Structure 1
Amino acid sequence: MKRELLSLYSSPARETKYVENPRTELEEGVSQLRHVLEPYTAWCQTFPPRISHIYFIRWYVYKGYEFLQNPPGGFYPRLGVISFAGIVGLFLARGSKLKKLVYPAALMGISTSMYYPQQAVAMAKVAGTQLYDWSLQGYIAVEALWKDNPKKKKSGEKVKNS
């Protein structure tokens, strides 16, 4: 008997057809977003990362880890009080989104300034100087806009030629 006639060696011919699953709306949206952002991602990939930036990030992470391994006395209780002040601020800031930003930051800043008064004074001086500079720039910009806009002439008046 021939080998092709034995059922062990022969298999029925199957007609297989690959059917791709239909794309969902989410997949379509992600695909469109990727196509839109492709030029920008390609542009960002043209710049190689700078070794110095990676080195400094690594250095700061190492120093932070080293500091947390050997903290100064009373660091963790202070950290706990400052964190608790932030949580209380979140609890009190029900309502607007502005309150959710201001209250925790303010309470944490107040509790931090109790533990680190010298640093708080130094930061307040810098922040005060910055706020003064920004307000002065805003005042100058508003004054320039106010003076640059000529008053509109009344429609009945004639313009004199000089």
Structure 2
Amino acid sequence: MLKVTGSVVMPAALGLLPTTVHAAAGDGENEATGPLHRDELSLYTGPPPPSRVVEPEAGQLEQRVAALRQQLEPYAACYRAAYGEIKPKVQRVVRSGTEALAFLRNPPKDFYPRAAVIGFTGALGLLLARGSRVKRLVYPGGLVAVSASLYYPERAAAVARSAGDSVYERVVRGYAAVERMVRPETSSRDGGKVTDGDTRP
């Protein structure tokens, strides 16, 4: 068993007892004064006055970097504007890519065989289109369009209808432009005379 003696406990207990502190006089003479408070000791003086921070002057490297930043600021603004314009387009491409990936992960029935047949007809068109560049464009595109219209007739009819309308509209515009170009020449040849068929308001 452990036996604790009084000599071991006493030094620890002495550290808890209050003690008095005597300070020496400033002129070197020992004077008997009363006990000092803790706030009166030189160790516990008040905080020093706040120091004033002086910023160092900019060196040559800092000045050059600042000048370079000022020179590059217009280019950075231009790139920010271009990024603002390109970002929505990139987001649209990413969104369409994720939609296409989701479609390919869960395709409709018989999608892959149909896509294989359509791709094969495009490759066959490339093989048949030897010679001119026009054939290289027309044959693969035509065969792919024909095979796709066999598998998807409703969509092919809608695409053909919209394409026909746009082609008709462009032909009418072209005809009107040619007519405007030809008519002033005929009216200038006639000397600006109005014929019976022409009525001007």
Q: Which residue of structure 2 lines up, in the alignment, with residue 114 of structure 1? A: 150
Q: Which residue of structure 1 lines up, in the alignment, with residue 140 of structure 2? A: 104
Q: Which residue of structure 1 lines up, in the alignment, with residue 194 of structure 2? A: none
Runs of at least 5 residues in structure 1 that lack an aligned partner in the other structure: 1-41, 154-158
CA distance in 2, matches of 1:136, 1:152: 25
Matched residues, percent identical?
Answer: 39
1:54 aligned partner, one-letter code: V
- Out of 49, 54, 59, the position equivalent to 2:84 is 49
Q: Is 1:93 the equivalent of 2:129?
A: yes
Q: Is 1:140 the equivalent of 2:198?
A: no
Deviation of residue 84 (structure 1)?
A: 0.6
Deviation of residue 73 (structure 1)?
A: 1.1
- Out of 65, 75, 79, the position equivalent to 2:111 is 75
Deviation of residue 92 (structure 1)?
A: 1.1
Please say which structure displays the higher CA radius of gyration: 2
Deviation of residue 150 (structure 1)?
A: 4.8
CA distance in 2, matches of 1:92, 1:143: 41
2:157 aligned partner, one-letter code: V
CA distance in 2, matches of 1:112, 1:49: 38
CA distance in 2, matches of 1:111, 1:130: 23
- Out of 156, 161, 165, the position equivalent to 1:125 is 161
4+ residue stretches of structure 1 with deviation over 4 A? 150-153
Runs of at least 5 residues in structure 2 that lack an aligned partner in the other structure: 1-75, 192-201
CA distance in 2, matches of 1:147, 1:100: 40
Aligned length: 114
What RMSD over aligned residues (CA atoms) do the two structures have, in Å? 2.5
Please give the secondary structure, in 2, of the residue aligned with 1:48: helix
TM-score by length of 1: 0.63
